[in-house]
Amino acid sequence: MNRIALQVQQNPPEVEIVCNLLRRDGGHEKLVAFIDTGAKVSLLPLYLMDVIDVHQPADVVLQQGGIGALTIEAVQATVNIAFEDSSGNVTPFREARVWFADTEVALIGFENILDQSVLHIDMPARDGWLQID
């Protein structure tokens, strides 16, 4: 399994990873995303649908519960995604089901990614990694 270093910040607490997404022009788009262990499915900004290679798009309505409950309209689709870090570690591309929504922030969640990974976050040491095939 490939181990990808994460960017860990304490204040505010944030964990980031560098992604590569397969573009429509055949190249790769680099994207900085936040690791979100509260996200069932990864969330990507809608603008990326005009840039990257997207398969099987379908409209969905997402119900977010809890405080500040919200209903969000999104597009569910499959994309090809890989990860890399500054030490030259890279993963192969993998298919992942994601939601595209009207936001500028990218979140990496469980489905097809975190649910197949070992995630290590050491906040005091500001260190972390994602181990994934």
Partner 1 sequence: MSQIRMSYQPGETPENFFPDYEWIKQNKASLLEKYGEASILVYRQRVVGFGRSYFDAIENAETTTRDQGDIITPVHYHLTRHPYHIGHVRRKSVRE
Binding site for partner 1 (CB under 8 A): 7, 9, 12, 14, 18, 20, 23, 25, 27-32, 34, 36, 38, 43, 45-47, 51, 59, 64, 68, 70-75, 84, 86, 90, 100-105, 107
As measured in angstroms, the least distance from the Cβ of 116 to partner 1 is 22
With CA atoms as reference, report the closest residue to 8 among 132, 131, 129, 119: 129
Helix (H) or strand (E) holding 91: none
**Cα gap 69→49, rounded to integer Å:** 26
**Cα gap 16→63, rounded to integer Å:** 25
As measured in angstroms, the least distance from the Cβ of 128 to partner 1 is 14
As measured in angstroms, the least distance from the Cβ of 58 to partner 1 is 11
